[in-house]
A and B are shown apart, each in its own frame.
Chain A
């Protein structure tokens, strides 16, 4: 099991390509076509990354982050979330690309394989941007009373954070 987790990237690529070949997909051409999309995604998120990396690194270097961490520590320690990840947890439901910027800055600061880095990665790999989805989907059909949607989604998000904290302990 441990080995599977470590070798998961070649396993995924292998399964996808073999399965594609068996289904008669032109794997090479298809790969190249998909890879082209990767370029535009990267160029598109670059300004978002810059905006968030700028804000967070100023916040950190000015030592404001240290005080902020001390301030929120007693609250977030209830669910076991490292206080260093509060900025990520706050921005994540609001903006996917913004969260990506904070995420990149966090990994740079604490290292991708540190406990903080692992929790951050699992958080990023789990829930989506709730507020955006709710705004777009309900907005499209003119729903004005959203009832319990937001509360349930925020609870689900908190559940995901708690689970990220727990599952990160197993792989750390």
Chain B
């Protein structure tokens, strides 16, 4: 899918540019974008390192455990069927806390473990359960406490205040997550 979209954006741009006589401008923009990407990457390098360093301290100081405590009662409401099964809930909490901390590399293996445990108790093998769908929607709309790469790109583009978006982003995601659960509980009756 992403292949088609990239192809579409690029080729429509090239064909359109050549037809409308903007060949020279388009040609210049192609050359310029390589330089500006390198510039952006170099600026990002320092900022990403800063945030990864800070988040590492947070990770090592056990913020994950605190988050897990906050999550438990919420998960109890969302996953009524799976909540009493520790094989499902333990990796699920690790997955969600990793996502909240912005450690997406760590989140994926825990997420897969959660799915495996859910499939183990699934009666209709190969068909998604209600809880699986909820878990995936929750993953798609998961709060990230410090959106490190967004902050870095904002700072690299010369923002006066890169952090201003953090609280709005948390509110936005929280609403999306709650609504996501509501959509699930409505839709699961019809599928």
How many contacting A-B pairs (Cβ < 8 A)? 348
Asked if A144 and B126 make an inter-chain contact with CB atoms under 8 angstroms apart, the answer reads yes
Q: Which residue of A lies closest to B190 (CB)?
A: A148
Asked if B57 and A163 make an inter-chain contact with CB atoms under 8 angstroms apart, the answer reads no
Q: Is the interface of A mostly helix, strand, loop or mixed?
A: helix
How far is it, in angstroms, between the C-alpha of A57 and the C-alpha of B55 when the chains are bound? 33
The verdict on B82 contacting chain A, using a C-beta distance below 8 Å, is no
Q: Which of B49, B53, B177 has the most CB of A within 10 A?
A: B53
The verdict on A122 contacting chain B, using a C-beta distance below 8 Å, is yes
The verdict on B74 contacting chain A, using a C-beta distance below 8 Å, is no
Which of B25, B60, B115 meets A140, CB within 8 Å? B115
How far is it, in angstroms, between the C-alpha of A136 and the C-alpha of B115 when the chains are bound? 10
Q: Which residue of B lies closest to A97 (CB)?
A: B149
Residues 50-61 of chain B, each 1 if its beta carbon lies under 8 Å from chain A, else 0: 111111111111
Q: Which residue of B lies closest to A156 (CB)?
A: B180
Q: What is the CB-to-nearest-CB distance from A132 to chain B, in angstroms, rounded to a whole number?
A: 9
Q: Which residue of A lies closest to B161 (CB)?
A: A6
The verdict on A164 contacting chain B, using a C-beta distance below 8 Å, is yes
Which of B51, B149, B157 meets A108, CB within 8 Å? B157
Please name all residues of chain B whose beta carbon is closer than 8 Å to the beta carbon of A152 when the two chains form the complex.
Answer: 133, 137, 180, 183-184, 187
Asked if A91 and B128 make an inter-chain contact with CB atoms under 8 angstroms apart, the answer reads no
How far is it, in angstroms, between the C-alpha of A98 and the C-alpha of B108 when the chains are bound? 19
Range of interface residues on B (Cβ < 8 Å):
35 or more
Q: What is the CB-to-nearest-CB distance from B15 to chain A, in angstroms, rounded to a whole number?
A: 8
Q: What is the CB-to-nearest-CB distance from A122 to chain B, in angstroms, rounded to a whole number?
A: 5
Asked if B140 and A167 make an inter-chain contact with CB atoms under 8 angstroms apart, the answer reads no
How far is it, in angstroms, between the C-alpha of A28 and the C-alpha of B63 when the chains are bound? 17
Please name all residues of chain A whose beta carbon is closer than 8 Å to the beta carbon of B125 when the two chains form the complex.
Answer: 142
Asked if B168 and A122 make an inter-chain contact with CB atoms under 8 angstroms apart, the answer reads yes
Asked if A122 and B9 make an inter-chain contact with CB atoms under 8 angstroms apart, the answer reads no
How far is it, in angstroms, between the C-alpha of A44 and the C-alpha of B43 when the chains are bound? 15
Please name all residues of chain B whose beta carbon is closer than 8 Å to the beta carbon of A60 when the two chains form the complex.
Answer: 13, 29
A-B pairs with lowest CB-CB distance, top 5: A34-B56, A62-B17, A125-B169, A38-B49, A156-B180
- Give A residues with C-beta under 8 Å from B: 5-9, 12-13, 16-17, 19-20, 22-23, 25, 27, 30-39, 41-43, 45-46, 49-64, 67, 87, 90-91, 94-96, 98, 100, 103-104, 107-108, 111-113, 117-118, 121-122, 124-131, 133-134, 136-138, 140-149, 151-153, 155-157, 159-160, 163-164, 167-168, 170-171
**What are 25 A-B interface contacts by the 8 Å CB criterion?**
A30-B60, A35-B50, A38-B49, A38-B51, A61-B28, A62-B12, A62-B16, A95-B2, A113-B159, A122-B165, A125-B165, A126-B141, A133-B140, A134-B136, A137-B111, A137-B115, A138-B136, A141-B112, A141-B115, A147-B191, A148-B133, A148-B187, A149-B133, A149-B136, A152-B137
- Give B residues with C-beta under 8 Å from A: 1-2, 5-6, 9-10, 12-14, 16-18, 20, 22, 25-26, 28-30, 32-34, 36-38, 40-41, 44-45, 48-63, 99, 104, 108, 111-112, 115-116, 118-119, 125-128, 132-133, 136-137, 139-142, 144, 146-147, 149-151, 153-154, 156-169, 171-173, 175-177, 179-180, 183-184, 187-188, 190-191
